[in-house]
Amino acid sequence: MTLGLINANPIVHAKKERVARCEDSHCYFVRDIRDPEHPYSLEQLSVLSEESISVDDKLGRILITFTPTIQHCSMATVIGLCLRVKLQECFPPHYKVDIKVSPGSHADEEAVNKQLNDKERIAAALENPNLRQLVDECLYSNEL
């Protein structure tokens, strides 16, 4: 992994009062995923908010958009992987997940979105032990 942090001084927001939003036992706790570089959650860093997750239970589709902390964030793909793994835990396996960066939030928006949604690349990435470890740390860290 890189020695220096890519975004050493992120803007941190207070955790919002969490309104209970668990309908049909789906969990919406993706916002608690820890940012790969900092001991803060993606929500605290304004990477994710309530509006950025939409679920269509009838079709079994989920769309998540997130805002990387800076325009050239190379951690975007890691965040995308974390979101995907977390959603796999929360939703039945047949749900289809599309993950995108919010429009205008990343310099290589199209390229990042393509990589975030290539099923084969995702499968191969999650078989990479180093990447898998990083994802697990973001998901299961107890620092929150």
Partner 1 sequence: MDLDDEGSNFELKEIQTLSGHTDRVWSLAWNPATGTDDAQPVIASCSGDKTVRIWERSALTRSWDCKAVLEETHTRTVRSCTWSPSGKLLATASFDATTAIWENVGGDFQCVSTLEGHENEVKSVSWNASESLLATCSRDKTVWIWEVMPGNEFECASVLQGHTQDVKMVKWHPTMDILFSCSYDNTIKVWAEDDTGDWHCIQTIVSGHSSTVWAISFNAGGDKMVTCSDDLTLKVWEADIEGMRSGNDQVLWKHLSTLSGYHDRTIFSVHWSREGIIASGAADDAIRFFVESKDSVVDGPSYRLLLKKEKAHDMDVNVVQWSPGENRVMASASDDGTIKIWELATSSN
Which residues fall within 8 angstroms of residue 29, CB to CB, at 6 or more apart? Answer: 86, 90
Q: What is the rounded distance in angstroms from the CA atom of residue 32 to the CA atom of residue 28?
A: 9
Label the pairing between strands 53-56 and 61-66: antiparallel
The interface region with partner 1, picked from 9-17, 36-44, 45-53, 123-131 by CB under 8 A, is 123-131
- Minimum gap (Å) between residue 86 Cβ and partner 1: 18
66 - beta bridge partners?
101
The answer to whether 138 and 82 are in contact (CB under 8 A) is yes
Binding of residue 24 to partner 1 (CB under 8 A): no
Binding of residue 94 to partner 1 (CB under 8 A): yes
The interface region with partner 1, picked from 26-34, 42-50, 92-100, 133-141 by CB under 8 A, is 92-100
- Minimum gap (Å) between residue 112 Cβ and partner 1: 14
In the complex, which residues of this chain contact partner 1 (CB under 8 A)? 93-94, 96, 114, 118-121, 123-124, 127
